[in-house]
A and B are shown apart, each in its own frame.
Chain A
């Protein structure tokens, strides 16, 4: 069965960076895309970026260009999202989400990783 298992919660200070991982299993890793979606406390959902797991090419929402980097390691079926220059506005749960179809819709979600930015 498809599983996306994310790394644990993080607490960071403003200006720091954080790297969240998402390990996939139960399917052919390079046959899909992986997206990142975030949800601030008590708020709605916001698309951050996606990566083509075959080519490694990533596409970012405009507001996150320059502050987010998404990469993957096909040898361990893991995707990474690094956020730099953190501010309190980046406090949120970050989800990795498998993208399927053309255009991608989201069929499986990770459990989420809470990133808290606080001085």
Chain B
């Protein structure tokens, strides 16, 4: 199965700062890569699909890039509500797999 490795494990930043999250795949997933945000006690929420397409209703401060094996989720200016855990997922190859998550916490 395809292993997704997210880095860093934890990102400590202040509101207004830029967040850059990485997701690396053990083999190519083309552009079949999604990003989710999860807050405590809630279900994940789709942010990005197709590596770079924002889901409906997602603010434009969230952007995704990459293809093949290296992907990035960027939050241009952190808002208080953006502090959460972020997961990447590949959905092009079975079994679908998720990264282990990156926690974005308040510095």
In the complex, what's the smallest C-beta–C-beta distance from B49 to chain A, in angstroms? 4
- A95 engages B98 (CB within 8 Å): no
In angstroms, Cα B94 to Cα A57, docked, is 16
- B92 engages A103 (CB within 8 Å): yes
Report chain A residues within 8 Å CB of B49: 101, 105, 107
Other-chain residue from B43, B50, B55, B101 in contact with A44 (beta carbon distance below 8 A): B101
**Which chain A residues in 42-91 approach chain B with CB under 8 Å?**
44-47, 59, 61-62
Knowing A106-B34, A107-B55, say if A47 contacts B96 (CB, 8 Å). Answer: yes
In the complex, what's the smallest C-beta–C-beta distance from A103 to chain B, in angstroms? 5
Closest to B46 in A: A107
Knowing A45-B44, A105-B50, A109-B44, say if A59 contacts B94 (CB, 8 Å). Answer: yes
- B97 engages A47 (CB within 8 Å): yes
Q: How many residues of B contact A (CB 8 A)?
A: 22
Interface residues of B (CB under 8 A from A): 32, 34, 36, 43-46, 49-50, 55, 87, 89, 91-92, 94-101
Can you identify 11 A-B contacts, CB atoms within 8 angstroms? A46-B98, A59-B94, A62-B95, A104-B91, A105-B46, A106-B89, A107-B46, A107-B49, A109-B43, A109-B45, A112-B43
Given contacts A44-B87, A106-B34, A107-B55, 14 further A-B contacts (CB under 8 A): A45-B36, A45-B98, A59-B94, A61-B95, A62-B95, A95-B44, A103-B32, A103-B92, A104-B91, A105-B46, A105-B50, A105-B91, A106-B36, A112-B43
